[in-house]
Amino acid sequence: MGKILALFLSSLVFSVAGAALAHARDSTSWDGVYSDAQAQRGQGLYAQRCAMCHGAALNGNNEAPPLTGEFMADWDGTTLAQLFDKIQRTMPLDKPGSLSDTDAADILAFVLKANNFPANAKDLSAGQILSTIRFAVHDPKTKGSQAAKRRAKSAN
């Protein structure tokens, strides 16, 4: 009886964990993955470390691309981990790799806010979770999107 109960409980744990991971993989930049407070911290860091190249209004210049507008299409379909890694490993141009995990996450939160992605109550954190959040130009929950149609179909 004890082995059966243990097997049942372990199956239950793996099922719940699998469902949570599947839900996390469905997360996008539209799911409120950063906090307003974090984006505000990121704005200050951006002004100090990034604006000299990417512009105060995130509109880019001759040396660095904009971080709004066409930027969105360039990153569409990637994960936030990829964007985080780009920020942390290659920025700022004069001191690549000098940003801490926290600073890079705060700057990423500011960039998300500047591109009108919604905020939440919880800060975006560095780590494995970023690889489960897809950067999406269009909100997949919006009626008419391909993802919304797939979700509606799978719910029926």
**What's residue 24's pLDDT?**
44
pLDDT at position 4: 54
Residue keyed to tokens 């509109």: 59
> What residues in the chain have per-residue pLDDT under 50?
5-24, 145, 147-152, 154
Q: According to CATH, what is the number of the domain 26-155? A: 1.10.760.10
Give the span between the Cα atoms of 135 and 66, in whole angstroms: 16
**Could you tell me the residue ranges of all domains in the chain?**
26-155
pTM value is 0.77
| Euclidean distance between CA atoms 2 and 17, whole angstroms | 22
Residue 17 burial (CB < 10 Å; 0-12/13-18/19+)? exposed
Q: What are phi and psi of 134, to 5 degrees?
A: -90, 135
- Alpha carbon distances (Å) from 76 to 99, 134, 150: 24, 8, 19
